[in-house]
């Protein structure tokens, strides 16, 4: 397929969802659309929760009774993906309905640049009061549309320095130390964020004379893998499953991921007992998170607000947790990019699953649909409401994600459609998986001649959305400009002190002297 044909193909996909057709779909099914009502919205985003580690997804160990209960009362998207498997860039996509690279957000150093409005701004324009609590990881230089209470923009002021060294890749010295787990006796900061959300629902929301949207940014189950004691003890280490790494798999691991393992200092085998403790801690964090999510849902019920509120739960990205020999995020395997997405509440059917691949980029359009607001024609995402009612023709049927974060020696891009998942690496070989037959993504079919047709189709979809090489180079340049700005502003000693926390003293001194031309 020619480049012109690919562009035309992309326009056809983008035009597949017409505003008038979508309004017809909603008026047939959604009570608030028929009655011209605007439902309230509760949107909870956790940090680093993989889809597979939930009870409703069938995990044999992880206990999430509240999420299971909410899932049974609503709609589960079984194949939802983040826009980028790292906090800042993922949230740029999730909050704007654009790809992360559209917002020049490539890593935990390059935050949303204000070039595209957040859904808080859209909803405010549609008559909503918008409140935000907890982790946002956006940019306080720009209007967000929210009244913010105890929000967090950590990476705006404390960027991940190692993301600025990608060609060649530096290493992050303490990542290996984090592969361990344990318990604590004090509640997580998410407890206070949940309390603030409950206080809003208990009093403030009921006094408003307009529809409202509440965003709650929780940070569990983000590492360290240290859970509240009662939850850590739910998962004895002897009962913990180990990562599924078949013999020879690490020898055949893609070069980009091998480099990522070296970056995180996890290529050397880690003791089994540490892995079991880390996984137990992660599971405990998820169960602790589940308690807080349940408390917010319960408050909606107790205050009779659930009957006119749509409740959304998702996470910014997943966690590798030792699969493929990887830990943390920064890659497009399902463990790091496949995230939970549950939508429940007023006007929505119960016990529905949607298998069509969807993505965070679709959430902004979905919220605008719920609000009865116009979806900008330039928005990348598509409303998910038609999929809930089986109107598959109103969604392009694929999910897109990308990755340019620390430890990645090049840009990577993903297209998931149907049972197939394609990962493209700029200047490196690609990957292809049939995730229905191979959910662990252990059998790369990119060189199987029987897959040439599906490879061509998925590559055409990718190129209809972005020019991968252009985006990869743009990401490198954005990160290098940020580094150069630091070099221009700081002395060698100041650079050393800034680098040292992530890289260790030796590499920090080496790079500080190099940056200053010594």
Write down the pLDDT at residue 93: 97
SS3 sequence of 149-173: EEEECHHHHCCCHHHHCECCECCCC
Residue 463 lies in a domain: no
pLDDT above 50 (res 341)? yes
Mean pLDDT within 159-164:
92
Write down the pLDDT at residue 119: 97
Write down the pLDDT at residue 4: 32
pLDDT above 60 (res 6)? no
For 257-279, the pLDDT digits (tens) are: 999 999 999 999 999 999 999 99
Mean pLDDT within 432-451:
98
Residue 467 lies in a domain: no
Mean pLDDT within 357-368:
98
- Both tokens of 273, joined, read 């007992």
Domain count along the chain: 1
Long-range contacts of 18-26 (CB under 8 A, 24+ apart): 19/374, 19/375, 21/394, 22/369, 22/375, 22/383, 22/385, 22/386, 22/394, 25/385, 25/386, 25/389, 25/391, 25/394, 26/369, 26/385, 26/386
Residue 457 lies in a domain: no
Give the end-to-end CA distance of the chain in Å, rounded to a whole number: 49
pLDDT above 50 (res 8)? no
Percent of the chain with pLDDT over 70: 93
Where residue 14 falls among pLDDT bands split at 50, 70, 90?
A: very low
Domain coverage including residue 357: 3-395
Mean pLDDT within 83-100:
97
Closest CA relative to residue 90, chosen from 341, 280, 261, 397: 341
Write down the pLDDT at residue 140: 83
Q: How far is Cα 48 from Cα 112, in angstroms, rounded to an integer?
A: 19
Residue 350 lies in a domain: yes
Long-range contacts of 104-107 (CB under 8 A, 24+ apart): 104/474, 104/478, 106/163, 106/404, 106/405, 106/475, 106/478, 106/479, 107/160, 107/163, 107/404, 107/405, 107/406, 107/475, 107/479
Write down the pLDDT at residue 29: 64
Please give the mean pLDDT across all residues of the chain.
93
Write down the pLDDT at residue 10: 37
What's the CATH number where 92 sits? 3.40.720.10
Mean pLDDT within 330-357:
96
For 450-479, the pLDDT digits (tens) are: 999 999 999 999 999 999 999 999 999 999
Residue 511 lies in a domain: no
Write down the pLDDT at residue 460: 98
Write down the pLDDT at residue 347: 87
3-state secondary structure of 414: strand
Residue 264 lies in a domain: yes
3-state secondary structure of 141: coil
pLDDT above 90 (res 434)? yes
Where residue 34 falls among pLDDT bands split at 50, 70, 90?
A: low
* Region at 146 (left for phi over 0; alpha for psi -120 to 50; beta for the rest): beta
Residue 248 lies in a domain: yes
For 109-136, the pLDDT digits (tens) are: 999 999 999 999 999 999 999 999 999 9
For 234-256, the pLDDT digits (tens) are: 999 999 999 999 999 999 999 99
Residue 89 lies in a domain: yes
Where residue 30 falls among pLDDT bands split at 50, 70, 90?
A: low
Percent of the chain with pLDDT over 90: 89
Where residue 158 falls among pLDDT bands split at 50, 70, 90?
A: confident
Write down the pLDDT at residue 373: 93
Write down the pLDDT at residue 21: 47
């Amino acid at each position: 397929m020619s480049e012109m044909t690919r562009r035309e193909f992309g326009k056809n996909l983008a035009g597949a969802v017409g505003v008038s057709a979508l309004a017809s779909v909603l008026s047939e099914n959604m009570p608030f659309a028929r009655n011209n009502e605007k439902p309230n919205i509760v949107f909870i985003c956790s940090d680093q929760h993989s889809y597979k580690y939930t009870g409703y997804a069938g995990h044999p160990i992880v206990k999430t009774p509240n999420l299971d209960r909410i899932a049974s009362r609503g709609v589960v998207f079984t194949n939802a993906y983040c826009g980028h498997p790292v906090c800042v860039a993922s949230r740029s996509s999730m909050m704007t309905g654009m790809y992360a690279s559209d917002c020049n957000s490539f890593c935990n150093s390059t935050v949303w640049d204000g070039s595209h409005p957040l859904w808080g701004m859209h909803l405010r324009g549609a008559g909503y009061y918008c409140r935000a609590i907890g982790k946002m990881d956006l940019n306080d230089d720009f209007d967000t549309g929210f009244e913010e209470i105890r929000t967090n923009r950590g990476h705006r002021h404390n960027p991940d320095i190692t993301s600025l060294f990608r060609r060649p890749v530096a290493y992050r010295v303490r990542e290996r130390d984090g592969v361990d787990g344990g318990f604590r006796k004090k509640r997580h900061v998410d407890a206070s964020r949940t309390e603030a959300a409950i206080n809003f629902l208990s009093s403030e929301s009921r006094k408003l004379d307009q529809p409202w949207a509440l965003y709650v940014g929780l940070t569990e189950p983000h590492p360290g893998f240290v859970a509240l004691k009662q939850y850590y003890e739910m998962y004895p280490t002897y009962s913990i499953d180990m990562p599924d790494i078949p013999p020879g798999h690490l020898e055949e691991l893609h070069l980009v991921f091998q480099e990522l393992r070296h970056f995180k200092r996890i290529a050397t085998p880690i003791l089994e007992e540490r892995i079991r403790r880390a996984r137990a801690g992660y599971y405990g964090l998820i169960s602790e998170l589940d308690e807080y999510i349940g408390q917010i849902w319960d408050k909606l019920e107790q205050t009779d607000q659930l009957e006119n509120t749509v409740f959304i739960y998702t996470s910014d990205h997943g966690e590798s947790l030792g699969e493929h020999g990887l830990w943390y995020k920064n890659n497009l395997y399902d463990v790091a990019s496949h995230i939970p997405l549950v939508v429940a509440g007023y006007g929505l059917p119960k016990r529905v699953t949607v298998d069509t691949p969807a993505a965070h980029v679709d959430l902004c359009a979905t919220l605008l649909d719920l609000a009865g607001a116009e979806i900008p024609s330039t928005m990348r995402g598509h409303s998910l409401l038609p999929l809930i009612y089986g109107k598959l023709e109103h969604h392009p049927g694929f999910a897109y994600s990308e990755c340019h974060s620390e430890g990645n020696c090049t840009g990577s891009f993903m297209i998931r459609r149907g049972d197939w998942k394609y990962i493209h690496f700029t200047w490196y070989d690609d990957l292809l998986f049939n995730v229905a037959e191979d959910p662990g993504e252990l059998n790369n079919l990119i060189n199987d001649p029987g897959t040439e047709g599906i490879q061509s189709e998925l590559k055409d979809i990718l190129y209809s959305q972005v020019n991968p090489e252009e985006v990869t180079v743009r990401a490198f340049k954005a990160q290098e400009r940020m580094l150069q700005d630091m070099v221009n502003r700081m002395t060698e000693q100041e650079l050393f002190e800034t680098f040292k926390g992530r890289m260790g003293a030796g590499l920090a001194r080496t790079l500080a002297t190099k940056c200053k031309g010594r």
